Amino acid sequence: MSTERTNSPVMLSVSDLTVAYGAITAVQNLNLEVRQGEIVTLIGSNGAGKSTTLRTISGLLKPKSGQITFEGETISGKPGHEIVKAGLCQSPEGRRIFPRMSVDENLELGAFLQKDQELIKATRERVLDLFPRLRERIDQKAGTMSGGEQQMLAVGRAMMGQPKLLILDEPSMGLAPVLVDVIFETIEKIRESGTTILLVEQNALAALRIADYAYVLESGHLKLEGYAKELADDPAIAAAYLGGH
């Protein structure tokens, strides 16, 4: 497993990243990398700086210092739409779907930077194959769907941008356990189809089960990193970071 990480090209690199909201430093001197073909997870309690890190990578926040590179190009400080164009799409925390639009219209918006109509059609089919529930609800207003269906739509909409790297922020938040399993199984399928994934998740054990590599954040600092399976199996780490399970 370790050789795989060494041999795969680095897709995303975050170096000495510091992000502040006014006088409050939310993330300090963070270093992490995501290699091609991996699922990498960022775990930690509420307020650890996970979502801030993702929002900075996606171009929604400007870093105070440090550098973010994607496929060798510096993207830190670039506007969000340019980062999406480069192949990095995010499914945000809290879903943020457009409730008054249909499922189909939400998916269409996810492809707003794509020009190739045939490719858009093929991607839409792929998304609907991944999430058959969305196919059943295709003309339904997104706001009338259940939380789980809205989460599927948020991930599907991000997939419509043809991401090389898909960023998922708390995809299991507020979902019933049976739907959490569905979401995590789908994340594995997305990776199997060739998309690299950076996953932020409070359900640390579920994230570690499907991830290759993990970073543990605590109060904006990187506390720990390692192979996900090793972290999940270490009783001391489980007691400190995973609620002792």
Q: Which residues pair with 213 in a beta bridge?
A: 40, 227
Domains and CATH numbers, the chain: 2-87+164-241 (3.40.50.300), 96-162 (no CATH)
Residue 148 structure tokens: 């789980």
Whole-number mean pLDDT of the chain?
88
Q: What amino acid is encoded at 5 in this protein?
A: R
Residues 95 and 110 sit within 8 Å (Cβ to Cβ): no
- Cα within 13 Å of Cα(40), Cβ side: 24
**Res 241: pLDDT:** 67
Per residue in 178-192, pLDDT (tens digit) is 888 888 998 999 999
pLDDT tens sequence across 38-54: 999 999 888 889 989 99
Helices (H), ranges, 87-227 = 103-110, 117-130, 132-136, 147-159, 177-192, 204-210
* Structure tokens given for 220: 């904006």
pLDDT at 5 over 70: no
> Averaged over 195-224, what is the pLDDT?
92
- Please state, in angstroms and rounded to a whole number, the distance separating the CA atoms of residues 38 and 155: 17
pLDDT (tens digit per residue) in 146-180 = 888 898 899 899 899 889 999 999 888 888 888 88
CB atoms within 10 A of CB 3: 7
Output the pLDDT for position 94. 63
Mean pLDDT of 12-25: 94
Which tens digit of pLDDT belongs to each residue from 65-103?
999 999 999 999 898 889 988 999 888 776 688 889 999
CA atoms within 13 A on the CB side of 101: 15
Q: What is the DSSP letter of 59?
A: T
Checking if the pLDDT of 1 tops 60, the result is no
User: Rounded CA gap, 164 and 12, in Å?
Assistant: 10
